[in-house]
Structure 1
Amino acid sequence: MEIVLKYFSDFTDTQLQQLQALSGLYQEWNEKINVISRKDIDALYEKHVLHSLSIAAVADFPNGMQILDLGTGGGFPGIPLAIFFPEVQFHLVDSIGKKIKVVEGVSEALGLKNVTFKHSRVEDIKDRKFDLVVSRAVAPLKDLWRWSKPVLKKAPAHEQQPGLICLKGGDLTEEIAESGVRPQLTNIYKLFPEEFFQEKHIVVVNK
């Protein structure tokens, strides 16, 4: 928890309580359904919570915005972002049902009113459109962008509004070349100079 407060300080009492509760909730759920590796659960706040919140360090989401977390896994980056932006609506989807069960349990325990969830592949979402898609290391960039485009709302042509913000690691040169898009990259280590983030990036693709 201290590592999150090292870089973010403007939390309400409710947000602090929710953030503090994450550790116990994920330890409890991880014993039933393994969604976080054993070695990572002890570093939850650095490797999962702060990593997710790196998106909040580069993007500000207006109240009422609707965001899809594609392949949310155990709820990252969606749940930390939902805590950080309580007036923004997050829809968390994953193709693996047991992971959505964890997301549902954690969200309800935290009392998050701005999170919905669905056991679904993103390709099967036909009835909703979103302002933005977020994702963390789910698939190659070309696939993430291909899946994102059909579920994004149409923005006016003059708006260079982000369509996809994803968290990636390692050398992305080949992946970006294959994607056919020109993303903006932010090295997370420049935001949070911790060893874990040295080869981690925030990748922003505009609509």
Structure 2
Amino acid sequence: MSSGVQVVFDHFPDLSATQRKQFEALSGLYTEWNEKINVISRKDIDQLYTRHILHSLAIARFISFPPGSRLLDIGTGGGFPGIPLAILFPESSFFLADSIGKKIKVVQEVAQAIGLTNVHAEHIRAEQIKEKFDFIVSRAVARTKQLYNWTHRMIHSTDHPTLANGYLLLKGGELDEEMKELGRSHSVVAISDYFEDPFFETKKIVYIPV
């Protein structure tokens, strides 16, 4: 078992054998790819499971995506939060987009290596995406209003059975000014409510219904 993966298993004990193997494989794959293409900061690669994978999975504590959901991870970088969420929700489909081609190469290779069939990763800018999605997820890509202006046209207006379609954004730090600038209904959830690690003390999920 890869060092660090137990933190994921502790918080998500009901994973299938396939999901456990997929999460276990991520450490070796990202370490190998990071030596070629720097998609994760050098100081964070040893904390992959807490600072990238568990952080991504915080979204799954806020909402459980029903089968058939379509999600866009905009500015996915090395595949976060999209790849961990795609492992957790194999019956949902994930479009992972980034404007930096070498990062998408890593995402494609990692997804293929662990057998993720519900992930499509593409080197593309937000304004070029023509498809529609139920939810957009993202991690610290841009200020919220800017991200909303780029992408709100891509979200179906149909409501999720328990939560309206919209955005699930991973953010950090003080957000009052940014949310005031957004000027839309939203809710902010502290990730420290879900996970005890000190890394999450300032981390939040911002949910914006559309």
Q: TM-score range by the shorter chain?
A: over 0.9
- Tell whether 2:63 aligns with 1:59: yes
Identical-residue share of aligned pairs (%): 53
| Cα distance change of structure 1 residues 16 and 159 upon mapping to structure 2, 3 Å threshold | closer
Question: Counterpart of 2:179 in structure 1: which amino acid?
Answer: I
Local SS of the residue matching 1:43: helix
Pair 1:16 & 2:14 matched: no
- Is structure 2 residue 196 aligned with structure 1 residue 193? yes
Contact 1:52/1:77 (<8 A) preserved: yes
1:6 aligns with 2:10: yes
Correspondence for 2:178 among 175, 178, 185: 175
* Contact residue 163 and residue 205 of structure 1 kept, 8 A: yes
Deviation at 1:131, TM superposition (A): 0.8
Matched, 1:145 2:148: yes
Q: CA deviation at 1:81?
A: 0.1
Is 2:53–2:80's contact at 8 Å kept on the other side of the alignment?
Answer: yes
Tell me how far 1:148 sits from its aligned partner: 2.4
Q: Does the CA-based 8 Å contact 1:189-1:198 persist in structure 2?
A: yes
Q: How does 1:53-132 map to 2 (within 5 A)?
A: 53-126=57-130, 128-132=131-135
Q: How far off is 1:193 after superposition?
A: 1.3
Write the letter of the residue equivalent to 1:183: H
Residue 160 of structure 1: CA displacement? 5.6
Q: SS state of the match for residue 186, structure 1?
A: strand
Using structure 1 for the length normalisation, give the TM-score.
Answer: 0.96
Tell me the amino acid that sits aligned with residue 180 of structure 2.
Answer: A
- Aligned-CA RMSD value: 1.3
Residue 6 of structure 1, CA deviation: 2.0
CA offsets 1:113-164 (integer angstroms, 9 cap, x no match): 00001101111112x11111000010001012112211111326x9860310
Is the counterpart of residue 45 in structure 1 residue 74 in structure 2? no
**Separation in 1, partners of 2:163, 2:192:** 26
Structure 1 unaligned spans of 5+: none
1:182 is displaced (CA, Å) by: 2.4
Structure 2 CA distance, aligned partners of 1:110 and 1:13? 13
- The alignment of Structure 1 onto Structure 2 pairs a total of residues equal to 205
Amino acid at match of 1:109: A
Of 117-126 and 21-30, deviating more is: 117-126
Give secondary structure in 1 for the equivalent of 2:189: strand
TM-score by length of 2: 0.95
* Amino acid paired to 2:185: R
Write the distance in 2 (CA, Å) between the matches of 1:165 and 1:80.
Answer: 14
Moved segments of 4+, more than 3 Å:
none
Distance in 1 (CA, whole Å) between partners of 2:105 and 2:162 is: 37
Residues 131 and 152 in structure 1, CA contact (< 8 A), matched pair in contact too: yes
| 1:3-27 Cα deviation digits (max 9, x unpaired) | 1122110100000000000000000
